[in-house]
Structure 1
Amino acid sequence: MFYIGCHLSAAKGFAAMGQEALSIGANVFQFFTRNPRGSKAKAIDPQDAANLRELAQKNQFGPLLAHAPYTLNACSADPKTREFALLTMQDDLARMNDFLPGNLYNFHPGSHVGQGIETGIRQITALLNHILTPHQTTTVLLETMAGKGSEVGSRFEELRQILDGVKCADKMGVCLDTCHVSDAGYDIVNDLDGVLNRFDKIIGLNRLKAIHLNDSLNPLGAHKDRHAKIGQGTLGTEALARVINHPALKHLPFYLETPNDIPGYAAEIALLRGLYQADK
């Protein structure tokens, strides 16, 4: 089955997101756990969450992807900022386990802000070892980053180092962002097989749990992270069609984060469904 969806606003509630996803042809979706630029999370209505779980099961949805807020920095030089990231992620995972068990939670590893990449990796690993538990049902994903500023996670080797240091490694995975990996210098347009072989050798394709499907406004290796609509960037529709149809990827859930409104997402989902080649 082809699992394709987009980022939806959680403001109207869980069940409303599920209905909106169905209305645009999606069978997965991503949402922020709280205001992406803020800290407080809305109280969850247990019945609303139950309604979404029922809708998702009835309509054969793939995994739902909760996204941590952008304000988190697990490897900040400021201990208070690191503590804020820890407490926020701990709360997010508790809420996911209580109300949407068995799904995915994605976060940006963070920026070491001059401390050095090795220090950043140690701090991220320490945070994960503090919040992950053997009994949680949520899989936590490290997102591949573009390498802007002092971001950690633009190189596959950095993600591998984090994963190697996590005690509950079976609760972890990776979300590959097509815009970010291209901006980081991985040529998925001309050498998708080579990039995936490198990912497999360094991290392992078994760790890849989700794809952020985005075009990029920037050339290969720009390290800038500016998403574009499908077919309106430097990656192009043909290259992204190869991504969704690659034998190592096509079973994964794909989440659009393109700069779009709901009608625009509906059009992109329809386009991608038309390009997807189902297994015979």
Structure 2
Amino acid sequence: MLNIGSHLSSAKGFLHLGKNALKIDANTFQFFLRNPRGTRAKALNQEDIDALRNFLTEHHFAPIIAHAPYTLNPCSTNAHVRELALEMFHDDLALMRHLPGNYYNFHPGSHLGQERDTAVTFISSMLNKELQPGQPTMVLLETMSGKGTEIGRTFQELRAIIDQVELQEQIGVCFDACHLSDSGYDIVHNLDGVLEEFDRIIGLGYLHAFHINDSQNPRGSHKDRHALIGDGYIGLETIVQILNHPLLRHLTFILETPTDLDGHAGEIKLLRSLYQD
């Protein structure tokens, strides 16, 4: 079965997320726990989150993904920003304990001109402070496009973070199609080679999720501009190859494309029709 969904708004509550996902024939989804470009979190409504957990079980959803806010930067040069990142990370993981067996994805951060080794140590330090043995949420590092001073553009940078994490069984990776291409990985002409490189450097066992999107810019642009499926430099053929690849087809796939709920419904319908059961 193809486990696919889209990024949905939680503005109307957690249960509403599940209902909207079902409406577009999704069996997973991604959402923000707080303002994606701020720090404010939604107040926990126990009844609402319990209702979502029961809904996910009733409708046999695949693992869902909570996405950290873009403002979370654990490797900032500013100590206050790093402390704020730790607080948000802590609070988000505490909330995700009410939705066990799912994922929490975050952008590793931006080093802002400091040494990359220092930035990597800051990121792994946050993870070591918060990851707990047996915790019910898998934390995912997202592959980045390399714009500005982003950490996570290469598999080697992600490996450097993982190497310093004490509970490595609690950490994983989320691929992003646009980010991979924009960072320079040739997923269009050499997907197998990219996967072989990832397996050699990090290990395919760490890969749990995949953001599905196209890119408005050519490979290696470091721009991070998502496009609709088939409307960019990656193309529908490559997206379908990713969904059906024997090393990838079991993953949680999330559409991160610039469209609305109806648009995502159309993309899901298209991709389901091209998935080989």
Partner of 1:88: 88
Structure 1 length-normalised TM: 0.98
> Is the deviation greater in 56-65 or in 138-147?
56-65
Matched residue SS, 1:198: helix
Q: How many angstroms apart in 2 are the aligned matches of 1:205 and 1:247?
A: 12
Q: How many angstroms apart in 2 are the aligned matches of 1:42 and 1:120?
A: 29
> In the TM superposition, what is the alpha-carbon distance from 1:117 to its structure 2 partner?
1.3
> In the TM superposition, what is the alpha-carbon distance from 1:53 to its structure 2 partner?
1.2
Q: How many angstroms apart in 1 are the aligned matches of 2:54 and 2:272?
A: 24
> In the TM superposition, what is the alpha-carbon distance from 1:119 to its structure 2 partner?
1.1
Partner of 1:40: 40
- 1:82-136: CA deviations, max 9, x gaps? 0000010000001111x21121000000000000211111110111111111131
Q: Does 1:201 align with 2:204?
A: no
Partner of 2:63: 63
Q: How many angstroms apart in 1 are the aligned matches of 2:145 and 2:184?
A: 8
Write out aligned runs for 1:184-195 (5 A): 184-195=183-194
Partner of 2:14: 14
- 1:16-73: CA deviations, max 9, x gaps? 1101000001000000010001111111211211111111111110001000000111
Code of the residue aligned with 1:132 in structure 2: it is L
Structure 2 portions without partners, runs of 5+: none
Write out aligned runs for 1:1-280 (5 A): 1-97=1-97, 99-278=98-277
Matched residue SS, 2:4: strand
Matched residue SS, 1:88: helix
Moved over 3 A (4+): none
- 1:222-264: CA deviations, max 9, x gaps? 0110000000010000010000000000000100110010100
Matched residue SS, 1:28: coil
Identity %: 57
Q: How many angstroms apart in 1 are the aligned matches of 2:158 and 2:114?
A: 17
Q: How many angstroms apart in 1 are the aligned matches of 2:90 and 2:134?
A: 14
Matched residue SS, 1:181: helix
Matched residue SS, 2:6: strand
Matched residue SS, 1:166: coil
> In the TM superposition, what is the alpha-carbon distance from 1:8 to its structure 2 partner?
0.3
Code of the residue aligned with 1:130 in structure 2: it is K
> In the TM superposition, what is the alpha-carbon distance from 1:153 to its structure 2 partner?
0.3
Matched residue SS, 2:254: strand
Structure 1 portions without partners, runs of 5+: none
Matched residue SS, 2:271: helix
Aligned residues: 277
Code of the residue aligned with 1:62 in structure 2: it is A
Matched residue SS, 2:29: strand
Code of the residue aligned with 1:224 in structure 2: it is K
Structure 2 length-normalised TM: 0.99
- 1:161-199: CA deviations, max 9, x gaps? 111110111110000000000000000000000000000
* CA RMSD of superposed structures (Å): 0.7
Q: How many angstroms apart in 1 are the aligned matches of 2:219 and 2:128?
A: 34
Q: How many angstroms apart in 1 are the aligned matches of 2:177 and 2:42?
A: 31
